[in-house]
Amino acid sequence: MNTVIPGQSQRVLSGMRPTGRLHLGHYHGVLKNWVHLQHEYECFFFIADWHALTTHYEDPHVIEESVWEMVVDWLAAGVDPNTATLFIQSRVPQHAELHTLLSMITPLSWLERVPSYKDQQAALKDRDLSTYGFLGYPLLQGADILVYRAGLVPVGEDQVAHVELTREVARRFNHLYGREPDYEARAEEAVGKLGKKNAKLYRNLRTAFLEKGDHEALATARALLERNKNITLGDKERLFGYLEGGGKMILTEPQAWLSPAPKMPGLDGRKMSKSYGNTIALRDDPAKVQKKLKTMPTDPARVRRSDPGDPKKCPVWPFHQVYSDDKTRDWVQKGCTSAGIGCLECKQPIIDAVLVELQEIQQRAEEYSRDPMLVRNIIADGCKQARDAAEQTLVDVRAAMGLGYS
């Protein structure tokens, strides 16, 4: 499960490919989680437009349109641009630079054995995916993560292998390039940035650990670093390493952070997904939502109103699990198995709940849609912040790889 390792970077990073309007599956599976995380961690959320090109290079117009619609959907869902940094991958060229540099040290076999590689190629047979870009997809994703020294990567199950590859690449990089050359001087400089009182405390705790093996002092010093908001993540890494007498890890190994939300069912009982045509889009109007829910299939055993059914065999039941309380679920159980309620009656509380949920989202979407300049500015600001953060890592990476000319 999701546990934070001490000393782990507290920065969150996640991305989404722009492939059309978002639906309730994205909302319950991803966006609600982002909204929650943005209050607890420093968050970077981005639109993976290059990743979309790896599979959709033949229809670029879809990407362009989807990018802005997707930003609006994020904002409508409650992602707060004042708290989280929102940006577009292709506006931060450092991702591409790191991708190129990492490609030098990544064995081909690591990419070839990522499970999604062969699976996706087989699943998307109508596209020619025997491209260099597609093979490199997970490494580009690795660069997305490593360029921010992100520690936590909220993703779905299907992405865990990519985060795992990212860890291996980071480990290999750190192994090959290890300590930065002028490590001690840089670490000392970073201690200075902690502030007078904390710098003194840090030095004392470090000595206590290095000279007497005092583990409590080590833990206290780590906590001190974790709390500190004045120093960059690069300096933080340096000081974590310096505490134990080692070098600074240039790249940070991230952890996948699986979303706690239940999987959102689709209208046909399968997972909600655009490719199944079983979605409710965040911006479907109320009439459309009602119609979709009213006509969705139920337990096939209930041909007539008087036939009893079994919620376990009904695609409506998982919706009750997402939207209803115990009392309503109990009412469904009893009413369905005894034919005491009709299916439309059973669906009504869900229809009501979805409409209420979407109303707030759609109102916000409407406001942002009316002000495209605001949306553009939010992203422009986010891209700038992202470039600044990414550049800090690149400075270290270039130096480590012998490219730190000045």
Place of tokens 């192994």: 175
Q: Which is nearer to ligand SF4, 101 or 332 (CB)?
A: 332
**Residues making contact with ligand SF4 (CB under 6 A):** 298-299, 302, 309, 311, 314, 316-317, 332, 336, 341, 343, 346-347
| Binding flag, residue 25, ligand TRP (CB under 6 A) | no
In DSSP terms, which residues pair with 88 in a beta bridge?
47
DSSP 8-state class, residue 401: T
DSSP 8-state class, residue 272: P
Compute the least distance from the CB of residue 225 to ligand TRP, in Å.
Answer: 25
Q: Which is nearer to ligand TRP, 77 or 343 (CB)?
A: 77
From the list ligand TRP, ligand SF4, none, partner contacted by residue 317 (C-beta under 5 to 8 A by kind): ligand SF4
From the list ligand TRP, ligand SF4, none, partner contacted by residue 235 (C-beta under 5 to 8 A by kind): none
Stretch that binds ligand TRP, among 15-23, 195-203, 205-213, 313-321 (CB under 6 A): 15-23
Q: Which is nearer to ligand TRP, 15 or 136 (CB)?
A: 15
From the list ligand TRP, ligand SF4, none, partner contacted by residue 296 (C-beta under 5 to 8 A by kind): none
Place of tokens 């390039």: 177
Compute the least distance from the CB of residue 329 to ligand SF4, in Å.
Answer: 10
- Site string (88-107) toward ligand TRP, x via CB under 6 A: --------------------
Compute the least distance from the CB of residue 332 to ligand TRP, in Å.
Answer: 33
Compute the least distance from the CB of residue 308 to ligand SF4, in Å.
Answer: 9
Helix runs in 256-371, H state only: 286-294, 316-323, 326-337, 343-369
CA distance 370 to 20: 19
Radius of gyration of the chain (CA): 25
From the list ligand TRP, ligand SF4, none, partner contacted by residue 17 (C-beta under 5 to 8 A by kind): ligand TRP
User: Closest Cα to residue 396, out of 239, 222, 182?
Assistant: 182
Q: Do residues 175 and 247 make contact, with C-beta atoms less than 8 angstroms apart?
A: no
From the list ligand TRP, ligand SF4, none, partner contacted by residue 15 (C-beta under 5 to 8 A by kind): ligand TRP
Q: How many residues does the chain have?
A: 406
DSSP 8-state class, residue 307: S
CA distance 323 to 135: 40
Compute the least distance from the CB of residue 357 to ligand SF4, in Å.
Answer: 19
CA distance 55 to 352: 38
Among 79, 155, 281, 316, binds ligand TRP (CB under 6 A): 155
CA distance 328 to 320: 8
Q: Do residues 261 and 32 make contact, with C-beta atoms less than 8 angstroms apart?
A: yes
Q: Show the tokens assigned to 220.
A: 């206290």
Per CB under 6 A, residues contacting ligand TRP are 13-17, 48, 51, 141, 144-145, 153, 155, 159
